[in-house]
Structure formats: C-alpha cells, structure tokens
Chain A
Amino acid sequence: MQVFAYAVGGWLVLVGAAGIVRSHHLVHTVVSLSVAQAGTYVFLLAVGFQWNAVAPVFSTSADTHRAVVDPVVQALTLTDIVVSATVTALLLALAVQIQKRHGTVDPDELRALKG
C-alpha cells in the first residue's frame, strides 16, 4: 500500500508512452506526452511527502519548527510543469505546421520528409 503513490507515477508514464505509440492523431500524441509527464509530477511529490507534515509555507516565525513536506521536489515539479507547458506549445505548433504542409495529422501517414 505504501508504494501506491510511486506506482501511480510509474503507471502514468507507461500509459502516456503507450498512448504515443498507439496514436493516430498528432494532437492525441501531444496529450499522451503530457500524461506521461504528469507521472513525473506524481512521482516527485510522492518522494517529498511526509505523513502529518504541512505545506512548506510558514505564516509566522512561531510555526517554523513544524514538519513540512519536501519543498525541493515541489520546486522541481513547478519547473517540470513549466517545461512541459512550453514543450506542449511547441509540439502543437509543429502539429499545425504538419497539417498545413502534409494535409494530415496521422503520424502513420507521414512518410517522407518534404521541404
């Protein structure tokens, strides 16, 4: 039961990768990649979790002795989300461009490189 959170992260990565492999539409491919990246968020946050700990944000100097969950992995997750959003934007722009050049968004129908 304790490894459940870690396992969810790993499962999301694999399911996202499976979605990419099975994809018939480039937008679906990009969304599948986002699912796979979401697995890394779950995994990172699970690594930093601690039972009965609070969020790493203090309101007064009196409660600074309380146990908090790991802020380092939370900062990493934030970075992860920002990078994921930028990658998604770039890939969607590429999908738009491919639709314009090749007239299809099915990865299987993209055969040859075209200038």
Chain B
Amino acid sequence: MNRRLRYLVFGLGAAGLAVLFALALAGLPGFGGDSHPYRDRAVHAALAHRTANVVSSINFDQRALDTFGEELILLGSVVGAAALLRPSRRESERPAPDPEARAVPDSVVLLCTVMLPVTVLVGLDVIAHGHLTPGGGFQGGVVLATGLHLLFLGGRYPALQRIRPLAGYQFAESIGVATFATPGLAGLAAGGAFLANVLPYGQFASLASAGTVPVLSLAVGVAVGGGVVVLLAQFLEQALRYSGER
C-alpha cells in the first residue's frame, strides 16, 4: 500500500471516528457535574474498610483481582522483553569502555550522588504509605527502580552493576508476584473469596489500617521495582555491551 492510499484510508477512518466521538460527547453527562454513582459506592466501600486513599482501596481491595492480572501483564512483558533482547550468537561483546573516556560533568555526578538516597527513600515512603497518601506499590516501585539508575546517569555503570545483581531483582519480582497471591489465597480460605480483605482493618488513617491493602501494596512495590530494574537492565546491556552484527 503506498503512502497516499494509506493516508486516504486513515483520513476517512479518523473523520468517521471524530464524528462518532462528537456525537457520543453530546450524550455524555456534563463535564464536572456531581453525579458519579461509581464514586459514591467506591468511597463508601473504602471507608467501610477504613482505607484513607480510595484509589488504593480500589486497586488493592475492591478490584485486587484486576491488579493481580496487571501484575501478571508486567511479569509477562519483562519476560518477553528479556527474551527479545538477549544477545544473539552473531553479536560480539564490545570491549568495556574506558572509564575515563566518558566524561560526565562533576555537577551531574554530585547531583546524582545526593539524589540517589533521597529518591530511594521517597520510593520506600510512597510504597509504605500507599493506603494513606497518594501513591502505592506501582508508583513507589517505579521511583525506586529509576532512583537506582541515577548511578548510571552519574556515569558509573560499573557501580550500577555492583548494586544491581540481576538475579536478585528477578527473584524480587517473582517473589513480589507470589506474595500478592498469598493474601489472596488466605482470603479464599478465611473469607470465601480470592483476595478478600481478611486482615483487621485497624484505625482509620493510621499506618496499620486498611487490612490487606498495605501488604498487597508492598508486594506490588517489590514486584514493580524488581521488574523495572530487570527491564531497564536488558536495554542498557544491549546498548552498552553488545555491538551490532559484524
């Protein structure tokens, strides 16, 4: 199909979609109105389980099964990317670059060194308080994993490799996914439903509240942190250690 024909087909499709979308918008409730039936029910259910962050309550309590599926999607994607990016036999390993060759400004190195512990701390905080303040396992896990890569931005890939024993992070990811399933099975045994919130709810807005929500959030944080580190490691290895076909 040549480009002109492709643009024509796309133009027709896009115009049709735009018209249908405009018609659909005309039938929507007004923007910013106060009729949100799902909101009312979700907030009610979250407060019944003494969860201060309603979004976390939906993710890790009311619709925890969906989050479990999402975890498995993440796991599948990491496995898939690792399989796609493994070096082929035709590739040769590039000699390790001279550490002096890649000059990084001292200011960048300083900033990365200062920000590394701060970012890791913020990531842990976001995971630990996911049921109380905005955040949760997904967000905190990504902050943690990207925080570790500040070492790479600071120009010290060998240092990153030292604090990143890949097998450990692969283990962390699998253990995170498995830990997510464990309270789920406990819920099946005690509450009669997979991922039922069976732990005591505790006091509203305190660290030990919301039952299984912080446990699942922690499990997701470990899994996402491990998964993102493993994922980024595949791309970095591919870019830094292997040259193209020779």
A110 at the interface (CB under 8 A from B): no
Instruction: Evaluate contact between B7 and A21: CB separation under 8 angstroms.
Output: yes
A106 vs B44: C-alpha distance when bound (angstroms): 52
> Which listed residue, B30, B38, B58, touches A2 by the CB 8 Å rule?
B30
Q: Show 29 A/B contacts (Cβ-Cβ < 8 Å), sorted by A.
A: A2-B31, A2-B32, A3-B28, A10-B21, A21-B7, A47-B28, A57-B53, A61-B204, A71-B46, A71-B54, A79-B70, A82-B74, A82-B138, A83-B73, A86-B74, A86-B78, A87-B77, A89-B81, A90-B81, A92-B235, A93-B80, A93-B235, A94-B84, A96-B84, A96-B85, A96-B235, A97-B84, A97-B85, A100-B245
Q: Which residues of A contact B (CB under 8 A)?
A: 2-7, 10, 14, 17-18, 21-22, 46-51, 53, 55-61, 64, 67-72, 74-75, 78-79, 82-83, 86-87, 89-90, 92-94, 96-97, 99-100, 108
- Collect the chain A residues with CB atoms within 8 Å of residue B66's CB: 79
> Which listed residue, B7, B77, B136, B244, touches A89 by the CB 8 Å rule?
B77
CB distance from B10 to the nearest CB of A (A): 4
> Which listed residue, B25, B46, B70, touches A7 by the CB 8 Å rule?
B25
A53 vs B43: C-alpha distance when bound (angstroms): 13
- Collect the chain B residues with CB atoms within 8 Å of residue A48's CB: 36, 39
Instruction: Tally chain B residues at the interface, Cβ within 8 Å.
Output: 57
Instruction: Evaluate contact between A56 and B54: CB separation under 8 angstroms.
Output: yes
> Which listed residue, A5, A17, A57, A67, touches B55 by the CB 8 Å rule?
A57
Q: Is the interface of B mostly helix, strand, loop or mixed?
A: helix
Tell me the number of A-to-B contacts counted with CB atoms below 8 Å.
141
B234 at the interface (CB under 8 A from A): yes
CB distance from B246 to the nearest CB of A (A): 12
A18 vs B17: C-alpha distance when bound (angstroms): 13
List B65-115 residues whose CB lies under 8 Å from chain A.
66-67, 70, 73-74, 76-78, 80-81, 84-85, 88, 91
- Given A2-B31, A3-B25, A78 and B55 contact (CB-CB distance below 8 Å): yes
- Collect the chain B residues with CB atoms within 8 Å of residue A47's CB: 28
